[in-house]
Amino acid sequence: MKILKRTNNVLPGFGPTMGYTLLYLSLVVLIPLSALVFKTAGLSWHDFLEAVAAPRVLASYRITFGAALAAAGINAVFGVLVAWVLVRYPFPGKRLVDALVDLPFALPTAVAGITLATVYSANGWAGKYLEPHGIKVAFTPLGIIVAMTFIGLPFVVRTVQPVIEELDAEIEEAAACLGASRWQTFRRVLFPLLTPSVLTGFALAFARGVGEYGSIIFIAGNMPMVSEITPLLIITKLEQYDYQGATAIATVMLVASFTMLLVINLLQRWSRRYAD
Amino acid sequence: MHTKNIETLLVALSLATISALPAFAADSVTLQNVSYDPTRELYQEVNTAFAQQWQKKTGQKVTIRQSHGGSGKQARSVIDGLDADVVTLALAYDIDAIAEKGLIKPGWQKELPHNSSPYTSTIVFLVRKGNPKKIKNWDDLVKPGVSVITPNPKTSGGARWNYLAAWAYALHQKGGNDAKAKEFVTRLFKNVPVLDSGARGSTNTFVQRGLGDVLLAWENEAFLAINELGRDKFEIVTPSESILAEPPVTVVDKVVDKKGTRKAAEEYLKFLYSDEGQKIAAKHYYRPTDPKIPSKLAKVRLYTIDQVFGGWRSAQKTHFVDGGVFDQITGAAGRK
Amino acid sequence: MAAPTTTYTGKNNGNHRITEPAPVRWLLTAIALAFLALFLALPLAAVFSQAFAKGWETYLAALWEPDTLSSVKLTLITAAVAVPLNLVFGVIASWAIAKFTFPGKNLLITLIDLPFSVSPVISGLIYVLIFGRQGWLGPWLDAHDIKIVFAVPGIILATIFVTFPFIARELIPLMEAQGKDEEEAALVLGASGLQTFLRVTLPNIKWGIIYGVILCNARAMGEFGAVSVVSGHIRGSTNTVPLHVEILYNEYNYTAAFAVASLLALLALVTLVVKTVAEWKVQQQLERE
């Protein structure tokens, strides 16, 4: 801690950069989002509860948050693997594969949804082979997970990738010299170094999945209580010109996502300290 | 760093937008028509025809810009600031919502003939070629093993017509009452595997994904789907009775008065009632309200919302609000 | 944190002296590729196969259509405003956050993450609540004839919001991992603050910036939900490329819809070019040194 205090004085620019950060953050994020909260505040406590805790809404929370967790988990495992392979192993066509990772960002979510539904529905390229085995993807909750995995993947890969690229070969060599096996080196040395970025990627993929709308409605089936996601219920409220009900559900989602992001960010700090 | 340039760009952009909007030269006028999804093709043709007629009559050049989307969403956009000179939406309920905010004068529906609906439509069935499930009427939809595709009535105007048409049919059967109608519609929705958010989404599910045995659709949408996607793959079944869908049109008073476009906007809507306008509507498989204009559509016994449900407001309140009949049905219907 | 003397070469691939045994490498590569094939390559192939379903001519005709071109123009303008603004913010914010300790840091980072988790539906709605006719500033804007929502400024604002965290989020972990020893050394050796940033920090975070900008740009061009709420869908005027794709699809014009969508998919190729050029530049730089 003493060191940190000292360095605070050495590096310049904290005041202006922090000032600008807070200003821009307020203008772009905080003030607009406060509109949401103010609109919701117009509701009485009773109406608020009625809007956000109806059985159908509760079911949608379970589906949305559950699927987002599953998708972020899948991405955390495979995303790290992809990032690792992309940085460390040579193989033909690697650059193309690397570029492919950004696809979910570039493809408009509606196109992604339509395309995924095309590929995974019973008459689609992948669905054709899955359906006979009893695996239904399109128009089931599984479809939601597939869509969320699709849109969340680049978050994990692209947060972990620069960190793997920055990893110093010397650490691994040192570990090897000290007699550690490759697996031990990974588990004891590399993994702790990667954990913060993996957690960040996980958190971002999760957060993105929770809010996603465009791609999911095409593949989810949208059946109430079964495959209806929370953002769809917000749209449903808006269709009834119920702006306050819509913002009430949105506020709940916002608070839930914020809390989870905060917890994961704290966890990440903690793991970084552990790695030090 | 770059912020200065960007600020300049932003200012320039907003200025460009501002200057593009008001102050039209007298020799040209731009109208914004905010409409719902299935009318794209109709209004493309109407706009060209009207522009020609208007120029001949007044020497003025008129440009009509189109915006399409779900009816409710479009109404919200107008409420929240989209400057529509005219709205041509799927249901009166959505225009009422705009009127409630003071943008349209109350009593708008009496301004033009036929409840301000220049053309009407109804709900029909689209089935696969040869009608393998032998679907002829509404009661075939509730049979076990029949898979029905319809959008979600909570998010799609068209789907609300589907739902109400089924309800009205059940009500009109011998010994029909609200309880029986509810049971009928519950059984119907048990056969629905997917609820898309909009009418065109459902058509795509039915056509592209190959899901379902029958699609409940607007009559004009069903014909369009057949023309665009394959005469040899689908056919239309018209049930014995259905609902009379009256998509209304009106001028947005506040906008036209501000922009000074009232005259052109009113003429534009009147054009829809003219012989030429009616013919174009008939060509696009809408039912013209002028009986003189021939229509190639099958005769069906049609009921209005007012007759069966006492108007849109009450239908909306009973059936489609949160906790309404539709929610009870789907909550109970479950799946699998 | 590890190794303060990290000099990034951009060529950290494959030439590690220590690596896994070959079978493990092959297995991991195979799993990674299979996963990507299932989730990314297959959908991508589907987009292109639909786009070219009716041949090259239809493909080009779909792109060379006035409404498509105007949507491309609008999308380019939007990204050209949103990305630089968020880049400046990202660099400045990550400096403040990664190089200093202060209370509430976690809270601040979480707030920066927030736009990721806000449903696109909502990110459009908030601007309607503020700038819409019934919104906070609605009457004032109306009186002064300024259009924000359902016009270009609204589309840009929504895009900035949605892409807000990308660059900052890329840079913060990277800068934290790098620590501040190098900057401190530079300062001790007499460099000014700005010199230190330009000569020491900037080269170190170059990769993060490149990734961040690519992602931010891709998302800015591809955003659908939020923009859809504030656009008004006026053909040839307030339709961005993603919105235009939806319209074409809803007109049963599948080939054209996927043709236009494939334009956005091609953005991934831009990534490829940018990264290759950047790596090549770094290589040159190293050779000169």
From chain B, pick out residues whose CB is under 8 angstroms from the CB of C153.
10, 13-14, 17
Radius of gyration of chain C (CA): 23
Q: Do C147 and B21 touch (CB under 8 A)?
A: yes
Q: Which of C234, A233, C94, A16 is nearest to B82 (CA)?
A: C234
At residue B69, the 3 state secondary structure works out as strand
The least confident of A150-159, A182-191, A247-256, B42-51 is: A182-191
d(CA A64, CA A227): 9
The residue ranking higher by pLDDT, B280 or A193, is: B280
The least confident of A177-181, A209-213, B81-85, C110-114 is: A177-181
- The C-alpha angle with vertex A206 and arms to A204 and A212, in degrees rounded to 5, equals 100
pLDDT at A95 over 80: yes
d(CA B39, CA C276): 48
pLDDT at B240 over 60: yes
Q: Do A193 and C2 touch (CB under 8 A)?
A: yes
Min Cα distance A13 → chain B (Å) is 15
Reported ipTM: the value is 0.83
For chain B positions 199-238, those within 8 Å of chain C (CB to CB) are 200, 203-204, 208, 224-225, 228-229
**Residue in A closest to B191 by C-alpha:** A223
**A236 vs B76, B97, B154: nearest CB:** B154
pLDDT tens across the length of chain C (289 residues): 333 333 334 444 444 556 778 888 899 999 999 999 988 889 889 989 989 988 888 899 888 888 899 999 999 999 999 999 999 999 999 999 988 888 988 899 989 988 887 888 888 889 998 998 888 888 888 888 888 889 999 999 999 999 999 899 888 888 887 888 888 888 888 888 888 888 888 888 887 888 788 889 888 988 888 898 888 888 778 889 989 988 888 888 888 989 998 888 887 677 667 777 776 776 676 676 5
Mean pLDDT of B278-282: 94
pLDDT at B265 over 90: yes
Which long-range CB contacts under 8 A does B1-7 form with residues at least 24 apart?
B1/C88, B2/C84, B2/C88, B3/C85, B3/C88, B6/C81, B6/C84, B6/C85
Residues of C with CB under 8 A from a CB of B: 77, 80-81, 84-85, 88, 128, 131-135, 138, 142, 145-153, 156, 232-237, 247, 249-252, 254
Q: Do B197 and A55 touch (CB under 8 A)?
A: no
The predicted pLDDT at position B95 comes to 94
Average pLDDT over all residues of chain A:
85
The predicted pLDDT at position A276 comes to 56
Whether the CB-CB separation of B32 and B65 falls below 8 Å is answered with yes
The predicted pLDDT at position A133 comes to 86
Min Cα distance B290 → chain A (Å) is 32
Min Cα distance C90 → chain A (Å) is 8
**Residue in C closest to A270 by C-alpha:** C106
- DSSP string for chain C: ---TT----S--SS--SS---HHHHHHHHHHHHHHHIIIIIHHHHHHHHHHTTTHHHHHHHHHTSHHHHHHHHHHHHHHHHHHHHHHHHHHHHHHHHHS---TTHHHHHHHHHHHHHS-HHHHHHHHHHHHSTTSSSHHHHHHTT---TTSHHHHHHHHHHHHTTHHHHHHHHHHHHH-SHHHHHHHHTT--HHHHIIIIIHHHHHHHHHHHHHHHHHHHHH--HHHHHHH--BTTTS--HHHHHHHHHHTT-HHHHHHHHHHHHTHHHHHHHHHHHHHHHHHHHHHH-
For chain A positions 91-130, those within 8 Å of chain B (CB to CB) are 114, 117-118, 121-124
pLDDT digits (tens, 9 = 90+) for B183-236: 999 999 999 998 888 888 888 889 888 889 999 999 998 998 888 877 788 999
Q: Do A110 and C249 touch (CB under 8 A)?
A: yes
- Residue A182's pLDDT band, with cuts at 50, 70 and 90, is confident
The predicted pLDDT at position A270 comes to 77
Query: What residue has token string 């309607």?
Result: C128
Whether the CB-CB separation of A141 and A227 falls below 8 Å is answered with yes
Inter-chain contacts counted by CB atoms under 8 A, chains B and C: 92
pLDDT digits (tens, 9 = 90+) for B113-153: 999 999 999 999 999 999 999 999 999 999 999 999 999 99
d(CA B248, CA B109): 8
Helix (H) or strand (E) holding A57: helix A55-88
The predicted pLDDT at position B1 comes to 41
d(CA C183, CA B147): 67
Helix (H) or strand (E) holding B179: helix B178-190
Q: Do A241 and B97 touch (CB under 8 A)?
A: yes
**C126 vs A32, A115, A149: nearest CB:** A32
The predicted pLDDT at position C17 comes to 58
Min Cα distance A203 → chain B (Å) is 29
pLDDT digits (tens, 9 = 90+) for A203-252: 889 988 998 888 898 888 888 888 889 998 888 888 888 888 899 999 99
Whether the CB-CB separation of B191 and B133 falls below 8 Å is answered with no
At residue B67, the 3 state secondary structure works out as strand
**Residue in B closest to C229 by C-alpha:** B77
Instruction: Among A33-42, A76-85, A102-111, name the most confident range.
Output: A76-85
From chain B, pick out residues whose CB is under 8 angstroms from the CB of C80.
9
The predicted pLDDT at position A118 comes to 85
- A8 interfacial to chain B (CB closer than 8 Å): no
From chain B, pick out residues whose CB is under 8 angstroms from the CB of A122.
209-211
The predicted pLDDT at position A9 comes to 53
Q: Do B17 and C156 touch (CB under 8 A)?
A: no
pLDDT digits (tens, 9 = 90+) for C106-151: 899 989 988 887 888 888 889 998 998 888 888 888 888 888 889 9
**C32 vs A12, A82, A99: nearest CB:** A82
- Residue A55's pLDDT band, with cuts at 50, 70 and 90, is confident
pLDDT at B282 over 60: yes
Whether the CB-CB separation of C93 and A21 falls below 8 Å is answered with yes
Chains touching A (3+ CB pairs < 8 Å): B, C
Mean pLDDT of A123-140: 84
The predicted pLDDT at position A5 comes to 44
Q: Choose the mutation target among B155, B207, B318 for the interface with A, i.e. most A CBs under 10 Å.
A: B155
Mean pLDDT of A253-262: 87
From chain A, pick out residues whose CB is under 8 angstroms from the CB of B322.
54, 236-237, 240, 242, 245
- B72 interfacial to chain A (CB closer than 8 Å): yes
- Residue A111's pLDDT band, with cuts at 50, 70 and 90, is confident
- Residue B248's pLDDT band, with cuts at 50, 70 and 90, is very high
d(CA B277, CA B267): 12
A43: CB partners within 8 A, 6+ apart:
A51, A244, A245, A248
Whether the CB-CB separation of B194 and A139 falls below 8 Å is answered with yes
- Residue B255's pLDDT band, with cuts at 50, 70 and 90, is very high
Instruction: Among B1-15, B67-81, B258-272, C184-198, name the most confident range.
Output: B258-272
At residue B335, the 3 state secondary structure works out as coil
Q: Choose the mutation target among B100, B150, B194 for the interface with A, i.e. most A CBs under 10 Å.
A: B194
For chain B positions 18-57, those within 8 Å of chain C (CB to CB) are 18, 21-22, 32, 34, 37, 40-41
pLDDT at B82 over 50: yes
Whether the CB-CB separation of B81 and C133 falls below 8 Å is answered with yes
Q: Do A100 and C1 touch (CB under 8 A)?
A: no
pLDDT digits (tens, 9 = 90+) for B2-43: 444 555 555 555 544 444 444 444 678 999 999 998 888 899
The predicted pLDDT at position C252 comes to 80
Instruction: Tell me the whole-structure pTM to 2 decimals.
Output: 0.84
B49: CB partners within 8 A, 6+ apart:
B271, B276, B277, B280
Q: Do C152 and B13 touch (CB under 8 A)?
A: yes
Indicate the length of chain A as a whole number. Answer: 276
Min Cα distance B175 → chain C (Å) is 41
The predicted pLDDT at position A21 comes to 93
From chain C, pick out residues whose CB is under 8 angstroms from the CB of A262.
106-107, 110
